[in-house]
Structures are given as C-alpha cells and as structure tokens.
Amino acid sequence: MTDLLQFGSDWLADRLKEYVSRLVAYRRGTTEVVLRATIGRTLLKLDDGYGGVRMEWTDRDFLIHAADLVLDGHAVLPERGDLIRETNGIQTFEYELMAAGNEPPWRWSDSYRKLLRIHAKQVGTE
C-alpha cells in the first residue's frame, strides 16, 4: 500500500529541486560537490540566558536532497564548519554551516528524511 503523505512530500521535494533551486558548491575540507539547493531562512527561538526567549533569523538556509550530499563517494550528513558557495551574478557568497546558540547546523525538513535544511552564516564574498 502506498503512503500518500510520503508520496506528496516526495513530490513537493522533487518540484522544489526542479523549479525552485540553484546550483551551489558544498565543501568539506578539500572535497566538494555541486548540487541543487532551494534557498530559505529560519526564525530561531533561542534562550536568552535570563529565562526569556530571543528570536534570530539565520543568514541563509539551504534545502537539499540528502541523497545528493555525496562526498568522496559516500553519502554524508552536514557538519558544523562545512562551507557552501553560492554564486549570484558575478559575486560568489561563502556560507559556513552554523546556527545561533546551541541550535544544530541542520535538521530534517520533512518527516521522511528526504530534505535537509542547512543553517548557515555568511563568512565571505568574492
């Protein structure tokens, strides 16, 4: 029997990749892969250290298919400190995987673990 929710989630993830994405270069150390990413942002709720909450936007989120993140022939998950390079026109922006506070630098974007939502901060421009 087909899981219609998973079918719909997969369909949407595939349409995002096909129609609402751009090529980016994902780098870990000296290893790099070019893949398609949908661009976004996330509003994080962070502990302010005084019993309250502060809100902070990520600089950039990249939604990528987990199956596309292959480095040196092995499927991997994102790691804090990895880099993503995004070219827009004649400028290239470099982002480092990190999130504010104690938040993880990535999370699953769907219930079926097809899409990764990667949080990143801009660290350079060329």
Give strand pairing partners of 103.
none
Q: Residue 84 and residue 39: Cα distance in Å, rounded?
A: 12
Low-confidence residues of the chain, pLDDT below 50? none
The confidence score (pLDDT) of residue 63 equals 96
> Do the Cβ atoms of 24 and 84 come closer than 8 Å?
yes
Give me the residue spans of the domains in the chain.
Answer: 4-125
| Calculated CA dihedral for residues 102, 37, 77, 109, nearest 10 degrees | 60
pTM: 0.86
pLDDT at 102: 73
